[in-house]
Amino acid sequence: MDLAYTPEEEAFRARARRWIEENKPAGEGRHDYESLRAWQRRLFAAGYLGAAWPKEWGGAGLSDIEQAILNEELTRARAPAPLGSMGISWVGPAILRFGSDAQRQRFVPRLLAGDDIWATGYSEPGAGSDMYNTQTRAVRDGAAWVINGQKIWTSLAHASNWYFLLTRTRSDGHKVAGLSVFLVPMDAPGIEIRPTKMITGDSEFSEVFLKDVRVPADSLLGAENQGYEIVSSALIHERSGIASGIRFDHGLERLLATARREGVAGDPVWRQRIAELATKARIMRVMGLRVLSDQLHNRFNPHTSAAMKCIATRLSQELSEAGMEIEGYHGLLFDPDRAADEGVAANWCGRFLYDRSMTIAGGTSEIQRNIVAERVLGLPRR
């Protein structure tokens, strides 16, 4: 891999960095949905959303490496994620790859512009993140599909108007072979959303109940029973990227500032522990480059993203645990209003509490370990 950027790529980086600094909102404000939607629209108007997507579907037609540089610069600037970031990260790429021209025309430009916000329905009460055991069922009824089931841990369901929904459409044969994905309006009759109160006091996740939800035949994404391939492809986009390494660098900067403030920066035990966290952060950066290389060379490797998800989840938790320990009794204080923006001045408690959810978000760590054990290490399934 050539890790050097061309002069043209560095010029693009400089333009993107300048624009981001001049246009990003103040603070992170992850609960101010209208502000995040407005930020998304500014990014879209500037050609900085879906930058590597085809122009005919609303993208900017840039290269994949320019998209990666843009992601890196947005993260480096601590710019907030747009309101529709989940749809942009993996629903949009899935529709572009597996959707019909009519679906691309209908959904992709609105997704980028912030007119449509997408939630994703994978996990279930009896299956967790194990796609093999998906029980939500879609049955063909003439020109429509009828969907029944329940999903849990659906992020931002209450703020979304479309659902990227994994269902079972066939029971015979291998469990993976009977999965399909549907594009479902969240206001369809028969859908009920119940927000789940988190330990932080937020309700970012929801349970979603589907009872006799009827959707037209063209709501099916890709081919019938192609759902496993579609979701696996989408999750690669969720779990990968060089920007993740920068996020951990930010976490380390904050941890070091906390250590200096609390007078433990010179303590040999804490210096060793922080050095170990820095090493893991660098590993994440290098793994992100490896995944970027796979993307640039059109290599489909969901197993690497499963390993990255496990490492990233644990590293996030280790950073916030360390911050809590350094702060001592002060670290136990939690102010939801200050924690909402995750500012540098806020203590670590809010971050620590939120990071508990990372074990579940994007696929449970247990399932990711099974994937690595079976498909990377070749261990037998018991």
Angle between helices 302-327 and 227-239 (to 10 degrees): 40
For 72-114, the three-class secondary structure string (H helix, E strand, C coil) is HHHHHCCCCCCCCHHHHHHHHHHHHHHCCHHHHHHHHHHHHHC
* Type of residue numbered 127: A
Instruction: Provide CB contacts within 8 A for 278, sequence distance 6+.
Output: 252
Give the span between the Cα atoms of 54 and 23, in whole angstroms: 24
Angle at 248 between CA 296 and CA 284, to 5 degrees: 45
Catalytic status, residue 238: yes
Residue in the structure block whose two tokens are 């594009």: 183
Q: Specify the 3-state DSSP secondary structure of 151.
A: strand
Give the span between the Cα atoms of 290 and 297, in whole angstroms: 11
* Paired tokens of 267: 């303590």
Give the span between the Cα atoms of 33 and 366, in whole angstroms: 32
Strands of the chain (E only): list them.
118-121, 137-141, 144-155, 162-168, 179-185, 191-196, 205-216, 220-221
Spatial CA neighbour of 376 closest among 290, 302, 289: 302
Catalytic residue among 238, 318, 325, 342: 238
CA-CA distances (angstroms) from residue 317 to 84, 92, 140?
Answer: 25, 29, 43
Residue in the structure block whose two tokens are 């990071």: 355
- Whether 53 and 108 have beta carbons less than 8 Å apart is answered as yes
Beta pairing, strands 162-168 & 118-121: parallel
**Residue 379 burial (10 A CB sphere; 0-12, 13-18, 19+):** exposed
Task: List residues with catalytic annotation.
Answer: 238
